[in-house]
């Protein structure tokens, strides 16, 4: 159940505020219309602390932009810090002969994305950090994954792509099933669109665009 079930624009939670556990990191979810819009990872709060958390920025801007939607924490001495949104990892299924896949975190076998079909792209937010992602056939129990990839140093406000490509049953000279991981680091261009290209086709040669 949400700590704050409804908060109107420009309103506040009042004098009672919200009582939160101290001494442990917290995840904060922002929901609207019954769906999670974004999430944040907050550091452990000291016992007895009183903080104002203020939503600032624009939802339409990229999370890594200075004007992106974020949370400002204000304490007795002023600004404590600004929390950027949790990083987003997008999973792409680009292996033509692989079945639908599940994407799990190797350390815990936690399911991040389930039943990802060929040609599908889906994203999920995770706390900042480094992860090893395992790809399994959809619905199979954790064990030996079809492929694994390291996604190091996921930073708040950033977006990343983990793509499955290659062939489960490669022919002569064809690449086997594998994962590629790419950070979305395109510069923000106020005057036009900016396109980044990734080549995950396992049997196409080098291409010109």
pLDDT of residue 185: 79
pLDDT of residue 150: 83
pLDDT digits (tens, 9 = 90+) for 3-56: 999 999 999 999 999 999 999 999 999 998 888 899 999 988 888 889 999 999
pLDDT digits (tens, 9 = 90+) for 70-99: 999 998 889 989 999 999 999 999 999 999
pLDDT digits (tens, 9 = 90+) for 145-192: 888 888 888 999 999 988 889 998 899 989 998 888 888 877 777 777
69, 61, 66: which is closest to 32 by C-alpha? 69
pLDDT of residue 208: 95
The separation between CA 202 and the C-alpha centre of its own chain, rounded to angstroms, equals: 26
Q: What is the rounded (10 degree) CA torsion for 93, 94, 96, 99? A: -10
Mean per-residue pLDDT over the chain, rounded: 90
pLDDT of residue 18: 92
What ranges in 103-195 are assigned the alpha helix state H? none
pLDDT of residue 128: 95
For 90, the 3-state DSSP assignment is strand
pLDDT digits (tens, 9 = 90+) for 119-150: 999 999 999 999 998 989 999 988 888 888 88
Q: How confident is the model at residue 196 (pLDDT cuts 50, 70, 90)?
A: confident
Total residue length of the chain: 209
């Amino acid at each position: 159940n949400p700590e704050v079930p409804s908060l109107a624009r420009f309103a506040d939670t009042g004098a009672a505020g919200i009582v939160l556990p101290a001494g442990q990191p917290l995840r904060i979810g922002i929901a609207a219309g019954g769906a999670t819009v974004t999430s944040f990872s907050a550091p452990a709060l000291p016992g007895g602390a009183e903080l104002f958390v203020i939503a600032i920025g624009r939802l339409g801007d990229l999370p890594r932009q200075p004007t992106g939607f974020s949370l400002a924490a204000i304490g007795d001495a002023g600004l404590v810090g600004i929390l950027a949104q949790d990083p987003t990892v997008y999973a792409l299924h680009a292996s033509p002969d692989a079945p639908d896949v599940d994407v799990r975190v190797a350390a815990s076998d936690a399911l991040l994305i389930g039943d990802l079909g060929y040609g599908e792209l889906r994203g999920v937010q995770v706390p900042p950090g480094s992860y090893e992602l395992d790809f399994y056939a959809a619905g199979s129990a954790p064990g030996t994954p079809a492929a694994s990839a390291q996604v190091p140093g996921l930073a708040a406000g950033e977006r990343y792509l983990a793509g499955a490509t290659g062939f489960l049953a490669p022919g002569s000279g064809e690449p086997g099933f594998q994962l590629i991981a790419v950070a979305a680091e395109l510069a923000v261009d106020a005057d036009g669109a900016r396109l980044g290209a990734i080549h995950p086709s396992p049997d196409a040669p080098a291409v010109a665009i």
